[in-house]
Amino acid sequence: MEERQVSAEGATHRLPEPFFVIATQNPHHLIGTFPLPESQLDRFLMRIELGYPDRAAERGLLKGRDRRGLLETLAAVIDPPRLVTLQQQVARVHAADALLDYVQNLLDATRHTARFAEGLSPRAGLALLAAARAWALLAGRDIVLPEDVQAVAISVIGHRLRPVGAGGEPRAQVVQRLIESVPIP
């Protein structure tokens, strides 16, 4: 993914810009489903859980036609050049040194405790900062606030943290406790 190319039958092909991967994860209890190792989990920017649809949306699914057929009728909401432009704008959203201190303090809090099997990696810090920059841009700001980091934290670091001895504590609670334990500089 990171190399932005794919090899098939001995030939290497560059992927188009923009390029990203969306993957689904089956529940672990299904046959043939295995948890990803930490090194692979760390390569996914976010993990977003959709949950179940509300009753009205589910009724629409039940009454509707084949979902795959509907994909062909969807109109694009953004074209590739505009997406690349937005990605470039995100990279220019300012993160002050105090904000970088906050991100590093969050990372350090996972590395210097017995609460987690492993601390967050530098890649997790980069992902957290990139997502917070995008969140700030979506909010119409050109500077990242600690609230932006907190807004994306569950999706960005929740799947990267493995609490030691936790009996299935929800990811959101684990990340919320981490956020509450680290003061904003």
Over residues 13-59, the pLDDT tens digits come to 998 888 877 777 766 666 666 666 666 776 777 788 778 889 998 88
Mean pLDDT, the chain, as a whole number?
A: 87
Mean pLDDT of the 161-176 span? 83
- Produce one character per residue of 125-155: b if its CB has 16 or more CB atoms within 10 Å, e if not: bebbbbbbbbbbbeeeeeebbbebbbbbbbb
**Is 170:47 a contact under the CB 8 Å cutoff?**
no
Domain ranges, residue 132: 5-181
Distance CA 132, CA 126 (A): 10
Tens digit of each residue's pLDDT (9 = 90 or more) over 92-104: 999 999 999 999 9
10 Ramachandran zone, left/alpha/beta (phi>0; psi -120 to 50) = left
Q: Choose between 125 and 65: higher pLDDT.
A: 125
Measured between its terminal Cα atoms, the distance across the chain in Å is 35
Q: Which residue has the higher pLDDT, 163 or 37?
A: 163
Amino acid in position 184: I
Count how many domains the chain has: 1
- Residue 163 has a pLDDT of 87
Q: For residues 114 and 151, is the Cβ–Cβ distance under 8 A?
A: no
Q: What pLDDT is stored for residue 72 in this prediction?
A: 81
pTM, two decimals, is 0.82
Question: What was the pLDDT predicted at 178?
Answer: 94
Binned at pLDDT 50, 70 and 90, residue 168 comes out as confident
- Residue 17 burial (CB < 10 Å; 0-12/13-18/19+)? exposed
CATH code of the domain covering residue 102 = 1.10.8.80
Round to whole Å and give the CA distance between 179 and 163.
Answer: 15
| Residue 31 confidence (pLDDT) | 62
Sign of the C-alpha dihedral, residues 159, 164, 165, 169?
A: negative
pLDDT at 108 over 90: yes
Ranges assigned E (strand) in 72-179: none
Q: Cα–chain-centroid distance for residue 38?
A: 15
